[in-house]
Amino acid sequence: MVKVVNFLKFLSIVLFLGILLMVYAYLPVQVSLETAPGGYQLHKETFFYYTITGFIVINIVLLAFQKLNEKRLSGDPLKAWMRGLGFVVNIYLTLIIGFIGVINNTTHLDPASFAYLNYLGPFLLVAWFVGLFYLVFSKR
């Protein structure tokens, strides 16, 4: 189970990098981070480097959290849950980057029809923590 979760985490990293590079290729020079006109904007390269840096920092923090707490966890399912948290967070970050790409490509895509991407990430996180409660409180 842990090996499968590690593979999924690797795939989520590859997916994030692929989506980021695709979005970066289609971004205008000034990237808007809000749907409202005149909102907060960054230069395309600044956005790219901030995103990569944030992704690396978040994954390092999650890896440190995993290493600190994995020794205390008993059982393969709880260890898989802990490692899978990185997978879920990476998918959430991928959805955010995809939505930023949609916001900045309004000539071909309507951002309102992709608003579900903003709600899918928190839903995944809540479902993941519900899974933790299930693992902890279920009979073995």
Looking up tokens 């709880």, which residue turns up?
78
Closest Cα to residue 19, out of 86, 94, 103?
A: 94
- Helix H or strand E segment including 59: helix 44-70
pLDDT digits (tens, 9 = 90+) for 36-79: 777 788 899 999 999 999 999 999 999 999 888 888 877 788 88
pLDDT digits (tens, 9 = 90+) for 74-116: 778 888 888 899 999 999 999 999 998 888 886 777 777 888 8
DSSP at 115: T
Q: Where are the domains of the chain?
A: 2-134
Claim: this prediction has a pTM higher than 0.85: yes
